[in-house]
Amino acid sequence: MSDSAVAVVVRTKDRPEFLRRALASITSQTLSDWECVIVNDGGKPGPVDAAVAELPAEHAARVSVIHAPASRGRWVSANAGVLATSAPLLTLHDDDDSWHPEFLARSVDYLDSHPERNGVVSRIEIRWEHQTPSGYEVVSSEIFQPDLPAPTLSDTLLFNRFVPIAFVYRRSLHEELGLYDERLPVVGDWAFNLRVLARGPVDYLGPEPYAYWHQRVGASGADGNSVISSKGEHAYYDARIRDDALREYVDANGLGLVLYLTRFIDKRFVEVENGLRSEIAAMNPFRRVERRVRRVVSERRDKRRSN
């Protein structure tokens, strides 16, 4: 495609209304130096082509479409989009999310002025929406991880601290770290983010959210969010990633430290649990005395009243 500053990869499947919203988000950016590829993951091609055809000519010229004849999964689709573009910067725009109009401009400016950084993350605003006769409408919003000073590796080891809609990164990371793990039906972004953060630190753009992560509680089928509708898969593949990483560490370093830490942590949990039980047991006599005093006072009050 063209020599643009940033490539936007949109994955979609049979969600034309969401796709239209995503394209409106992209085409309303104050930065015009972008290219976009839509990867249709086995969905009907007609609605996708129609959504692109509705764009103004200058925007439609920047958008290309890959129609996969059958569904291949989120991360196969993401990699297909990465490989179909050429811009030095990349971002994944899920078809049901959106951006502030200055998201791309601020991200590109930051990375231009910080060549030592491999990517940059926007603060994320979760937008809760529900379906109405005229479509989905936002009913409330909140900031995701508002107290996190930066999306650090240490915090991300626990769970994913930023989703694709908030992340702009250098294409060179794929050359060094490889593409997204296509074996993962979910949490492929977390697996990639861990490798990125192990490579070096990533900062926030600032305190303001420029990325909007749309959520729909109770939605299923094509309208569902993977974090909600695929909760079981998330838990399973979270465990698989951790187990693979642990096995890799043991292969390189042996079981010694892992065995020690496992026993040490388990012992500390037992000590804490026993300590809490002791504190509760120590409190019980006082509680019994308190109940007895209250009972005696009540009995005396009742006796005075009866007299």
For residue 301, tell me if it sits in a domain.
Answer: no
Residues of the chain scoring pLDDT < 50: 1, 286, 289
Strand residues in 31-104 grouped as ranges (E): 34-41, 63-68, 89-92, 98-99
Within a domain: 223: yes
Candidates 171, 165, 185, 164; CA nearest to 241 is 185
The answer to whether position 281 is within a domain reads: no
**Residue 36, number of CB atoms within 10 A of its CB:** 26
Q: What is the pLDDT of residue 35?
A: 98
| Residue 271: per-residue pLDDT | 73
Residue 250 resides in a domain: no
* Residue 294 located in a structural domain: no
CATH number assigned to the domain comprising residue 137: 3.90.550.10
Strand (E) or helix (H) holding 196 = helix 188-199
Whether 239 is covered by a domain: the verdict is no
Map 254-292 to HEC letters: CCHHHHHHHHHHHHHHHHHHHHHHHHHHHHHHHHHHHHH
Amino acid, single-letter form, for residue 33: D
- Strand, helix or coil at 182? coil
What is the distance, to the nearest Å, from the Cα of residue 80 to the centroid of all Cα atoms in its chain? 20
Check residue 267 and give its pLDDT.
81
How many structural domains does the chain have? 1
In the beta sheet, which residues pair with residue 68? 41
- 32 falls within a domain: yes
* Residue type for position 278: S
220: three-class secondary structure by DSSP: coil
Flag whether 102 is in a domain: yes
Distance CA 225, CA 131 (A): 14
Q: What is the DSSP letter of 113?
A: H
Residues 221-263 have pLDDT tens digits of 666 665 555 667 989 999 999 999 999 999 999 999 888 888 8
Containing structural domain, residue 53: 6-229
What is this structure's pTM? 0.83
The predicted-structure confidence for 31-42, as pLDDT tens digits, reads as follows 999 999 999 999
